[in-house]
Chain A
């Protein structure tokens, strides 16, 4: 059994905790969150030993592995503490907000041969795995364009006061939505070398971007586009799609299906003929031992546990791999010079009042 602790019991944290506790090889020895009413409930109802103090948890629970699902700005310090104690670490995405921190942590983990993983769960979605396989097979011919899109209905009004709506804390559509799409591009088409044409704007938010668009450039001549907007109510939930064009065809994949068009059959993909081939999630998805919200969430935790068992330090979604996504985010941030507010603001006095309210909300949220 892998003695595992987790810090951060918000939306993703609770989901991870449920999957971890259902995993036959994982022994959850501690949970940590600053919101005590939540940890009180968990302790009372589930028997999980909970802590408000992160260091105390590491000292007392002595976990071999840590799962980090705190707000993004806290990742670097917590991951570092865990690595310095020789723990394997699974960290939610985005990995870190500062590339220099990321480089240091990658080096620290690799030097000690520790297992690291970041929660880019799309790499565990059958349809995206299939897209990566098809692109890597060379069946599309010379690949010349990739487009990654992510849309969803998160910020639909001029309000909101969580860390996700604070730029300095790793909030906004860039860190919440775009980094998934960027990692998917890195996974399927490779890591871009530069970005330009960056547009980052609030649609409703004042402090952070609700939409992010940019061009991705590659040394190979491949070009890419990133289109992200989390203020689109026409989507029921986050929806991510990637398309790759090559001289012999194209592929489009989302969470449900993979649509492949080949101009000519290709020897490296004998099962995919000329013309359209559609493959669905029902035959691309591997069964998991415990299902919650999607196979990919369980599959990534199971992969992390297996990595620890097998001492696999160069698997999928390592810190090194996730740092590549952070680098692209950093390029986008540098190029855009920060988010611009939604235009036009409703009215000056109202905006000021809203900004003040938001600040108060942030403080309240930060205190509890």
Chain B
């Protein structure tokens, strides 16, 4: 994984501090050229990995990168699935069964199986999970996707429910079908690692909030620091700035002084911020001579 990954919250009206800021960003990025300008700016600053949800609009971004391979020869996508609101709103509107039916492909016996409310056998759960992953991956066809993440809402739902096998099924499917490594986004790192260890998933890629104020780091900042120091996994730090609650230099210094943290993902809307953050990460990542 690259040291610096570019995130996508800013493009889709996600801001953990302010709904007004989120709306302003949604307006600014409602048309594709504005999004591509920012991705280009990031690319020119040396950030070639885009870590993005499977929001419908990402499909347009994928089209652009497919059509311009020469311009971005080494570009990498890290899909994060699913874009949960798409499913949550559908469940509210349609009910769980119809919502699932809506997102499964038309073909195949699985979809019709639901019509009778037939009990699901073990292998069916695996098949449904694979179909949902494949449906989300369609937009990335032909692009380089070496790591595929499960979004925290799903990771943490499965983790809480105790549906551990799903993590293994996901891991095996993305490896076999896409030659990709599985990544897990979570707000509950220590607990997730216990489960991944139990499943024998070695040295997993785990993306989580890691920030100096302990924002959304369940188990507490000390436990996170100890976990990062002592356990075998590849941490990707997100929410490093805690949505702007920490000054950039201080925020990045906190993450960079934990050498086990492999990558940092951040989102920004302007070239100035992108450059500033990238330069800070590069500067503070250098080992003291």
Contact = CB atoms under 8 A, between A and B. Distances in A.
B156 A292 contact: yes
Given A11-B91, A35-B117, A368-B97, A290 B163 contact: no
Contact of A41 (B125, B160, B188, B215): B125
B17 to A, nearest CB: 5
A339 interface: no
A161 to B, nearest CB: 7
Interface string B72-116: 000000000000010011011111111000000000000000000
Given A292-B160, A368-B117, A160 B93 contact: yes
A280 B13 CA distance: 17
Nearest to A11: B91
A289 B218 contact: yes
Contacts of A368: 97, 117
Contact of A35 (B96, B98, B163, B214): B96
A18 B157 contact: yes
A288 B220 CA distance: 9
Interface string A280-298: 1111010111111101000
B216 A291 contact: yes
B161 A293 contact: no
B242 interface: yes
A305 B15 CA distance: 31
Given A36-B117, A45-B125, A291-B216, A160 B94 contact: yes
B245 A280 contact: yes
A280 B160 contact: no
A159 B270 CA distance: 41
A11 B96 contact: yes
Contacts of B139: none
Nearest to A20: B160
B119 interface: yes
Contact of A282 (B17, B120, B164): B17
B120 A41 contact: yes
Contacts of A285: 215
Contacts of A291: 156, 187-188, 216, 218
Contacts of B187: 291-292
A161 B159 contact: no
A67 to B, nearest CB: 14
Contacts of A18: 156-161
A229 B97 CA distance: 25
A237 B97 CA distance: 21
Interface in A202-245: 236-237, 239, 241
Nearest to B96: A10
Interface in B162-177: 162-166
A22 B157 contact: no
A22 B22 CA distance: 31
Contacts of A162: 92-95, 98
A288 B218 contact: yes
Contacts of B16: 256, 281-282
Contacts of B213: 282
Nearest to A9: B96
A12 B245 CA distance: 31
A85 interface: no
B37 interface: no
Contacts of B164: 45
A36 B95 CA distance: 15
Nearest to B163: A45
A155 B93 contact: yes
A257 B161 contact: no
A238 B242 CA distance: 22
Nearest to B125: A41
Contacts of B157: 14-15, 18, 292
A302 B171 CA distance: 32
Contacts of A273: none
A161 B89 contact: no
A36 B118 CA distance: 8
Given A11-B88, A154-B89, A154-B92, A46 B191 contact: no
B243 A236 contact: no
A236 B160 contact: no
B125 to A, nearest CB: 6
Contacts of B219: 289
17 contacts: A10-B91, A15-B157, A37-B118, A45-B161, A45-B162, A163-B95, A165-B93, A236-B85, A239-B19, A255-B19, A280-B17, A282-B215, A282-B243, A282-B245, A291-B187, A292-B153, A292-B156
Given A282-B245, A365-B95, 9 more contacts: A18-B157, A21-B161, A22-B188, A45-B166, A165-B93, A254-B19, A289-B218, A291-B216, A292-B153
